Homo-oligomer: A and B are copies of this chain.
Amino acid sequence: MTGDVREPGPAFVAVDWGTSSFRGWLMAADGTVLAESRGGEGMLHCAGSGFAPVLHHHLERLGASDKLPVLICGMAGARQGWAETPYLKTPTRLDALHEGAIRLDTPGDVRILPGIAQARADQPDVMRGEETQLLGVTEPGFTGLVCIPGTHSKWIRIEAGAVVAFSTYMTGELFAVISQHSILTHAVEVAGSLAEDGAPFREALMASRAAPSGLTAALFRLRAAQLLGFEQRADGAARLSGLLIGSEIADAAQRFGAQLPLRLIGTGALGRLYQAALAASGFEVDTIDAEQASRRGLAKAAVQIWGAESRT
């Protein structure tokens, strides 16, 4: 590489390239953000128009030299992405994530970090992007749980710095499809996004945690409760959120245990909602901003890749 990542000034470009968004940062070697560029050119957009021109456009906006190394995480490494980056398999050490990166056949040094797969027939699961956040929020040797809420919420168990097991819940996506496409559209005023904390959310959360096997019946009761005058439509979104998040937390607590330290990677309203829900469910929660987690993970991996190479 052209620069030493331990020098001040631009050292590399970090990119979180998801399904529907691009977020790039010009980074100093110490992890300081020097510039930022974001756009809606996620994997779905680029699958048609190509990935290289989008990256080039954002590098220009960042004022980044073509010679700066670029490290990418997320769906750009999926089969439908820029170049398929094979999954690492659980159990896998987070500090070895960079070893699974692939280097693209493009000018400059552009690499994509791998996702992680739980390649077990009885518990198959996959992540792309979250592994980099995990690297960002854990110190070497960390043992505990991480919860990453979202469209597909993830719970990850980490032992001595290695991802040993994880489980993905379709919480956010179910909220969207149920509130937009099912009979519950009549029971939910604001469709599409999880609601705010409050009494209706808490009540539904607790009801769902108390009877986690009855989720599909609890969903119908949302409608019945309004027909019978027990509940209000204005609270429908909060109750639907509570039922789905309660079901997720109940299962995760049973699967992974509620005694371990828990780090929550969350942002904004969704982060606050999960923080409240997890605290109400007996977890001791430490919350870290989601973007910061991605950037920190990319920075750690970049130092491992280029910092190490520059010393050889």
Contact = CB atoms under 8 A, between A and B. Distances in A.
Interface of A: 79, 117-119, 121-126, 152, 167-171, 173-174, 177-178, 180-183, 207, 211-217, 219-221, 224-225, 227-228, 230, 244, 247-248, 250-251, 254-255
Nearest to A89: B228
Contacts of A247: 213, 215-216
Contacts of A248: 216-217
Given A124-B221, A125-B221, A248-B216, A173 B182 contact: yes
Contacts of A217: 167-170, 248, 251
A35 B169 CA distance: 51
Contact of A125 (B119, B180, B224): B224
B182 A174 contact: yes
A168 B182 CA distance: 15
27 contacts: A117-B228, A118-B224, A121-B230, A122-B207, A123-B221, A124-B227, A125-B220, A125-B224, A126-B227, A152-B220, A168-B220, A168-B221, A169-B220, A170-B183, A171-B216, A174-B178, A174-B219, A177-B182, A212-B212, A213-B213, A213-B247, A213-B254, A214-B255, A215-B216, A216-B247, A217-B248, A217-B251
A152 B216 CA distance: 10
Q: Which 9 A-B pairs have the closest CB atoms?
A: A212-B213, A124-B224, A168-B220, A124-B225, A214-B251, A177-B181, A213-B251, A169-B216, A121-B230
A292 B254 CA distance: 44
A194 to B, nearest CB: 14
Contacts of A211: 251
A244 B213 CA distance: 11
Contacts of A170: 182-183, 216-217, 219-220
A255 to B, nearest CB: 7
A250 B177 CA distance: 24
Interface centre among A118, A167, A180, A216 (most CB of B within 10 A): A216
Interface centre among A178, A212, A215, A254 (most CB of B within 10 A): A215
B126 A228 contact: yes
Contacts of A119: 228
A248 B168 CA distance: 21
A211 to B, nearest CB: 8
A213 B216 CA distance: 11
B181 A180 contact: yes
A29 to B, nearest CB: 36
A230 B124 contact: yes
Contacts of A174: 178, 182, 216, 219
